């Protein structure tokens, strides 16, 4: 295991290189959400960058000039990182913001605002596999060890941003709020056009057919993988070891089947059943 320095915040481990207690505190207690903010919310590895690209393209009526010329984390800063928070505070409205925190650490100012939150969820088995490969390549994350070892940490919530189950259960309590919209990675893959239409409707953006097609086209896995402003090729060598893995890895649903053994899958299912007991929503992977 490598010696990457982590600190614990609210029971969750975080690398000290890009996160800090002060930032989390500021985000929760002081950060002012503005009514015209659009917030791209996810548990890590659930399609954050994909949704960020879709939202950026929608904001420009499908014109890819912005997404092809400005790097993704400058278009839509991660407000839960120290650098991203600074950028967000300097950004003129309307802002497009990314965040991964569980509901209890989300800016409290949201509760009085009309800002729109889009929560993208993904089959947690694919999240696990994606998170594992990401951890191998990211120098700022701890070496994940074997997939079996990482799965134990993931299932017990001992990874940055904590338990997937707690994240989903906490956020889904907001599902009936008018300024909260949730969608899954799997739906985005099955029907990208229908999803973009739904997102536009939620945002109150009217795009014509050609503009919607352009959003779908430029946010496709292929186009994003080619776009150096979205494919992580701009990520600093101190953050990522580009030889150890690509950010735009596979972009498919069900890759877990290529990685989990029968026993690991059964164990995952048991934990899932136990933790998700009582959830009234059925997801595409259930």
CB of 45 to ligand A3P, least distance (A): 4
Rounded Cα distance between 49 and 224, Å, is: 9
Q: Of the listed pieces 20-28, 136-144, 208-216, 242-250, which binds ligand A3P according to CB under 6 A? A: 242-250
Rounded Cα distance between 263 and 201, Å, is: 43
CB of 200 to ligand A3P, least distance (A): 17
CB of 221 to ligand A3P, least distance (A): 4
Q: Per rule CB under 6 A, is residue 213 in the interface with ligand A3P?
A: no
The CA-atom distances, in angstroms, between 75 and each of 72, 166, 217, 258 are 5, 29, 19, 34
Contacts of 93 (CB under 8 A, 6+ apart): 34, 36, 37
Which residue in the set 15, 170, 251, 284 belongs to the binding site for ligand A3P (CB under 6 A)?
251
Q: Of the listed pieces 65-73, 125-133, 168-176, 278-286, which binds ligand A3P according to CB under 6 A? A: 125-133
Indicate which residue of 49, 100, 133, 167 is catalytic: 100
Closest CA to 209 of 221, 196, 225: 196
CB of 246 to ligand A3P, least distance (A): 8
| Bond prior to 85 in cis (omega within 30° of 0) | no
Q: Is 88:77 a contact under the CB 8 Å cutoff?
A: yes
Rounded Cα distance between 51 and 119, Å, is: 9
Which residue in the set 12, 23, 33, 47 belongs to the binding site for ligand A3P (CB under 6 A)?
47
* Annotation says 201 is catalytic: no
Q: Is 7:14 a contact under the CB 8 Å cutoff?
A: yes
Q: Per rule CB under 6 A, is residue 142 in the interface with ligand A3P?
A: no
Q: Per rule CB under 6 A, is residue 116 in the interface with ligand A3P?
A: no
**Site residues, ligand A3P (CB under 6 A):** 42, 44-50, 126, 130, 133, 219-221, 224, 248-251, 255
Catalytically active residues, by annotation: 100
């Amino acid at each position: 295991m490598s010696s990457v320095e982590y600190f614990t915040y609210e029971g969750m481990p975080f690398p000290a290189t890009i996160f800090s207690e002060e930032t989390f505190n500021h985000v929760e207690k002081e950060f002012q959400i503005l009514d015209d903010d659009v917030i791209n919310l996810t548990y890590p590895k659930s399609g954050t960058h994909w949704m960020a690209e879709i939202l950026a393209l929608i904001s420009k009526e499908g014109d890819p000039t912005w997404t092809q010329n400005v790097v993704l984390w400058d278009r839509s800063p991660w407000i839960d990182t120290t650098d991203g928070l600074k950028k967000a505070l300097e950004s003129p409205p309307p802002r497009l913001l990314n965040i991964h925190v569980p509901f209890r650490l989300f800016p409290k100012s949201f509760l009085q605002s009309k800002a729109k939150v889009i929560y993208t969820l993904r089959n947690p088995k694919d999240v696990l596999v994606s998170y594992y490969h990401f951890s191998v390549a990211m120098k700022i994350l701890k070496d994940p060890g074997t997939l079996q070892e990482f799965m134990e940490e993931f299932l017990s919530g001992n990874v940055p941003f904590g338990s997937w189950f707690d994240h989903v259960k906490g956020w889904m309590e907001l599902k009936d709020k008018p300024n909260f919209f949730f969608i899954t990675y799997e739906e985005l893959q099955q029907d990208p056009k229908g999803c973009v239409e739904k997102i536009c409707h939620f945002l109150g953006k009217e795009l014509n057919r050609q503009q919607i097609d352009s959003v779908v086209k430029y946010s496709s896995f292929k186009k994003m993988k080619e776009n150096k402003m979205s494919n992580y090729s701009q990520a600093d060598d101190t953050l990522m070891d580009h030889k150890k893995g690509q950010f735009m890895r596979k972009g498919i649903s069900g890759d877990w089947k290529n990685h989990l053994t029968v026993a690991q899958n059964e164990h995952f299912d048991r934990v899932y059943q136990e933790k998700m007991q009582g959830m009234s929503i059925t997801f595409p992977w259930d």
